[in-house]
Amino acid sequence: MPPAAGAPGSPHADRAKLADVAALAGVSVGTASKALNGGGRMRPETRQRVLDAVAELGFRPNQHAQSLHTGRSWTVGLMTTDGIGRFSTPVLLGAEDALGAGKISVLLCDTRGDAIREQHHLRNLMDRRVDGIIVTGRRTDPRPPLTGINGLESVPVVYALSPSTDPVHTSVVSDDRGGARLAVEHLLSTGRTRIAHVTGPEHHAAARDRARHGVEQLESAGFALSTGRVHFGEWSESWGRSAADAVLRTAPDTDAFFCGNDQIARGVADTLRERGVGVPGDIAVVGYDNWDTMALASRPPLTTIDVNLTEIGRIAALRLLEAIETSSPAPGVHTVPCRLVVREST
């Protein structure tokens, strides 16, 4: 039996109209339109009949017509300064998970940290009449808000990972206070009390914040850093190796390292292994970020703090959708909890 006119596989499938859907579902064209757009109040079975008719006829809505009708482009921009994608890719995946349910497309723009390139991408996004913009980067340092383009004030913007310096904007960030607490509490729970902290550059917010919160957590438990100070340096394995040597010269009774990221922690683990120090038998090591490339390749694999980048992207997208739908953005900084991932290094 040949497929019905308008059904998938028929020569007329591309001719199916909204009126055909409405007729097959036994509803008005207006009701069919509301069912497809997710609007209007109707019985669930009515909406389902419309969706069943869409599937049977192979109907595809005219996106251009929908945009004219609703005033929306059904696209959002995602601007990032993270050219290599180490941090922006998980954020993008989380955002797409949330936006995909609403059939919204994401336009990725890499500014490479260049202000002129950022303005160029911003103009293009505005020309495309995007419904909103998510801004992310590779650092947790607050960044200036988007400015300089006419009409931008009417487009919702959410900042993910790198918060806006303006508190009236919506920002979604990782909870570094909670992450540092999880790391220190875990080490203390394993009986470690002589803990060293090795981290990245002091001018980076992530290094400063994780160090400050880690020290506070130690002090609240009645302990202090084994060397008496935080070891600021670089976000690299080589820094982790040299810092481990320095720590053990200063405080040879150190029994744990809390590191500012997984690269540093892997470098620390390398030095301890070369010295014949057992990990975790003699000294435990905790990293930060849960970057699989580093954490799983380390010897032994690293216990680390997952900053939930994908969840940051998902929450940022949901906040953006709320702002688009209600024209009422939720201002301020919204934190996403970290989680402890326990592996063989502790």
Residues 286-307 pLDDT 10s: 999 999 999 999 999 999 999 9
Token pair for residue 221? 């438990």
**Per-residue pLDDT at 105 exceeds 90:** no
User: DSSP string of 80-124?
Assistant: ES-TT-TTHHHHHHHHHHHHHTTT-EEEEEE-TT-HHHHHHHHHH
Q: Give residue 82's pLDDT.
A: 78
pLDDT: is 192 or 330 the higher one? 192
pTM of the model: 0.79
Give dist(CA 81, CA 307) in Å, integer: 18
- Residues in CB range of 20: below 8 A, 6 or more apart: 6, 53, 57, 59
Arithmetic mean of pLDDT over the chain: 89
Say if residue 150's pLDDT is above 50.
yes
Tell me: pLDDT of 310 over 90. Answer: yes
pLDDT at 8 (0 to 100): 45
> Residue 225 has which token pair?
């850093």
Number of other CB atoms surrounding residue 330 within 10 Å: 12
Is pLDDT of 41 > 80? Answer: no
Q: What are phi and psi of 17, to 5 degrees?
A: -115, 165
Q: What pLDDT was estimated at residue 1? A: 44
